[in-house]
Each structure stands twice: as C-alpha cells, then as structure tokens.
Structure 1
C-alpha cells in the first residue's frame, strides 16, 4: 500500500515558525514532524510514500532524498499552484493502483493504521475517515456515523451554533482509486469541504473509523508547544534519537557543566554544551547548541545551532534555528524568538 502525505501547506496559522520552513518540517522533540509520520507508517509496514509538495518543496526533498536513509521509498509531486487537499491527491492518480492512505503532514498521532486498513476492507468502503473526539470541534471537520459506522453527516469547521458532533476528521483517510472520479482536474478542491459532503449527500460508501488514539493538529503555536508537553507527560510515544544518560535524554558528544539543575524532563540534541549553573526545566535543546552560564530555560524549545550567552532567561519560548542570543536576554513568555 502507498501513502500519500500532504506536505504542501503554507502553514499560515503557525507563522512565524513557518516563515522559512514548511510546516511539516518543524521539529518535534528534535525530529522534523514528517520523520515522525514516516516512523508511524513504517511501524505498519507502509514504506512506499509520496510527498505532495507546494510550499518550499526543496527543503523537504533535500532532507529526505529517496527515503533510503529512513528505510522508505519516497517520491515527490510538486504542484504548480495550491490545489488544496483533494486537488493535490488528484495529481498522484497515476501512481495509485489500489487502496491507498492519505495522511496530513501536520498531525502527530499514534493511530493504529493496521486496524484502520482492516476496517476499510471489511466495510468495502470507497472512503474511510479517521475520526477522534475533541472538546472543541469548531476548527475541524465534524462527522456523525450510524450504527454501521457509515457517515451520515459531515461539515467542515462549523460555527458554534452548528456543532452537531464532537467527532472530528483526523486528516487521515483510506481511499479507493475510484475516488479520483469525484475530484476535478487542477482545481482547488478539499476533501472535508467538497468531496466528503458530496459522498454523504449521494449516500456513497463513506465510513468513519473511531480510534481512541493520541491525535494533535500542529496547526498553531500553542499546539506546537503542546506536542512537546504531551511527549513529556507520556501522552504520546514518539521515537527520538536521544538516549537516557545520567538522568537526561541526550544525543552524542554532549558536555554538561558544574551545578547544572535538571528539573522535570529535558532533551539535549547532539553536540550540546551546557555551561555551569544552568537551570533546565521541561525543555528541548536541538543539535549543536550552547547554553551559557547561569541561564534558565523552562518549558522551552530551542532549535538547532543556537548559541545562548550567559544569564539569559526563557519561559515557554521557542527559539529559531541558528540564533545567537545576547547575554542577559529575558524573553517574554509564549513567544517565538527569531532574528
């Protein structure tokens, strides 16, 4: 089975994190989001992957190349304009000859894809939609299914007074090739707004697969931070590169100074240098970073190649890659620090 990964979005809601980076490439615990997607697919024996690209495509191609380094076979389709979700998938129609999986490149999940595939085949579905329950469904597509799991109502991003379900579309679908007949050529066309409501209207074979899995749409700054806190609190089991050494999850060639205080959970990437009297609390530090003497980092995420001079303080911040932070910098909470 092939997986088509939607990785072309502009990431507007996640700006400024995505001003120079595709949203699916933002690091989650020191791995690009797309790497976590590949690891999930491989866990369920899906290794043929097509990335559907639009925004800053070369950054994704240069990182993953042919996929062999990640144990996968990866190919790419780059759209000339933004055709939205279904329109982008339509571009891959000639690459698909059987049931295929579509995955949004901006979600973190541990969905049991193997069970999802079994469900899809048992239902003889044209389209199966991964569904999960959330407290506030208004930012997402919502669905109602009958006792046979057939979707009978579907609405995209309902207003507060129009919410008829807390079951939301996960952005993960199993589809049959005949779905391409429901998608026009080279037009902006959405699954949630266009294709699925039409399938429901025509009483086609569209089913909802409910799974009590972890799921997070990494669509804005708060969600980006939440992905890290959920990892620290063991709500999501992510595979990371770092290993536990001296009570800290750390990569290779890390140096930790005297009287360094480690509180809660801390992840250090490769080649990190932590100077004396630093306080680290529930934070992730990327590769090739230095944290200067007497700094305090709490609930913060530092991307790769950052140098932080002495006596700096960060609380609930994200620091962009490659920055040099002057001494005695005290950042406001919940900010993305960029040049």
Structure 2
C-alpha cells in the first residue's frame, strides 16, 4: 500500500502541476522507482491511495503500455496490438481516498481491499536500498502488530567542530552522518488489525495510531543502516537525479 495523496507543498515548484509521486527521477516518477524496488523483493500487487491530482496518477498507469511498447492500431476493428512482452507484471489498484484525508484515513479507506495477511505500507516520496525481504521476515518473527523501518539520514549541511574558548575551527566535515538519531524511513509492515486504531479520515497515522502501538508494545523497529532518501524539496529531487544520472543510485535493486 502506497500513500500518494498528499499536497506536497514543500515541493511546490513541481507539485503545483503534478502530484509528488509523479515527480521524476531520470525519466520515470519516484512512484515507479518505489514499485520497481518493491517488485525486486517479490511484491507485485499494489494499492495506491490517491488524493491530490489523483486523475494524473490514474492516467500515468492508463497510458503505461502506450509509452513503453510499440503498437499497431487496426482502425477497422478498433483494436490495438502491442508488439513485445510487457516488462512489468504489476497489479495496481488506484484508490481515490479523498483530497483532504489524512494519512491514517487513507489507510482506513483501503482496509477493505486487504486479504488478512501482513502488508507493506510506505509513502510515495522516499527511496532506499532497504532489504524488504529481511524486513518482512523480521516482522513475522516478532509477532507484533507493526514494524517500522528506522533510518539515519545524513546531515544536510557542513558541520564545524568548535570549542568554547577558541574561535578556530578544529574540524569541518561536509554533509556528515546524522547525530545518531533514528527516524522513521516510512517502510512499514503491518497486520491489518493495526488499522483498527484509526478512527476516520481526520486521523494522522504518525500521531494517534503510532503512539497507541508504541504504548501497547506493538511497534517494533527494523534498523536499516544503509541508504535512504526522501524527496521533500527541490534540493532532494536534484540529489536523487544526480545519483540516477551518474549510474550510482543505491535504491536500484532491480
């Protein structure tokens, strides 16, 4: 399940025209990159929870074969023949979960499409080289309702090391590793029962439900020390595109 309905206001240079999951890395949207990464770990069925500019996401998948494959149209029979096997075997459900629905509310609206098994949930704006297979095995082993992937992002600014007595810079490191704090990387494995903690459309998943899971001892962290990067700002888009264009994209696991 991929949450793809937010307004993406911090990337307004792009999202005034398209929803953030369609902002491109290389020639394909970040949503495609996320799905390719997940498919490399055996996931082929997706529920995309749409909201803001949902029609554009639906149109992207509607036109997917048309962009990717050569085609012959027979106007006499109103038929189309595609000339090579389709690269993807995805089954994608595009669910309009409302323009102003919060993250928890989007999950709740999609709950009826689940089959009772644990499922992966993530957001349509972050990539990483997370071992989804290992993450899933970890979740099944501990038996709790929810697993969250914990990541340590690198610093965004150069760090200077100073002492109180001496104004001279003792050390400088450009974009150092983080300060040791673990944050949510947005890749969850959830039991469907975890969604019972969501009241309705106004529920923010990251507030009430996650706090309730924590208080009940039902939220376990899977530590991912490898690469993870969000696409929150234009700078993030530039960084990710630079990696992709140089052939050095750590999230390319396919």
TM over 0.5: yes
Change (3 A) 1:199 1:108: same
Residue aligning to 1:238: 252
Partner of 2:181 in structure 1? 166
What does residue 103 of structure 1 align with?
122
- 8 Å Cα contact 1:83-1:188 kept in structure 2: yes
Residues 125 and 206, structure 1, Cα contact 8 Å, conserved in 2 = yes
Root-mean-square deviation (CA, aligned residues, Å) is 2.4
Aligned residue pair count: 210
The structural deviation recorded for 1:38 is 1.3
Cα deviation, 1:74-120, whole Å, max 9, x if unaligned, reads 01110233222111011111111210110110012121100000000
Gaps of 5+ in 2: 66-85, 157-178
Structure 1 equivalent of residue 161 of structure 2: none
Q: How far apart, in 2, do the equivalents of 1:129 and 1:66 lie?
A: 34
Distance 1:179 1:8 in 2: 21
CA distances 1:238-279 after superposition (whole Å, capped 9, x unpaired) = 379xxxxxxxxxxxxxxxxxxxxxxxxxxxxxxxxxxxxxxx
Matches within 5 A, 1:211-222: 211-222=224-235
**TM-fit CA distance, 1:191:** 2.1
What is the TM-score of this pair, normalised by structure 2? 0.76
1:56-75 paired onto structure 2 within 5 Å: 56-65=53-62, 69=86, 70-75=88-93
Task: Show structure 1 runs of 5+ residues with no match.
Answer: 138-163, 241-339
Q: Say whether the 8 Å CA contact 1:66–1:74 is kept in structure 2.
A: no
Higher strand share: 1
Partners of 1:198 and 1:22 in 2: how far apart?
30
Q: How does 1:19-34 map to 2 (within 5 A)?
A: 19-34=16-31
Distance in 1 between the 2:63 and 2:142 partners?
34
Question: In the alignment, is residue 40 of structure 1 matched against residue 55 of structure 2?
Answer: no
How far 1:190 sits from its partner (Å)?
1.9
Q: Is the 8 A contact 1:52 1:88 kept in 2?
A: yes
Residue in structure 2 matching 1:205, options 218, 223, 236: 218
Q: Tell me the distance in 2 between the aligned counterparts of 1:67 and 1:125.
A: 38
Q: Which runs of 4+ in 1 moved over 6 A?
A: none
| 8 Å CA contact 1:36, 1:239 repeated in 2 | no
Written as runs of structure 1 = structure 2, the 5 A alignment for 1:213-292 is 213-231=226-244, 232=246, 234=248, 236-238=250-252
Q: Which residue of 2 aligns with 1:188?
A: 202
Distance (whole Å) between structure 2 residues aligned to residue 34 and residue 210 of structure 1? 23
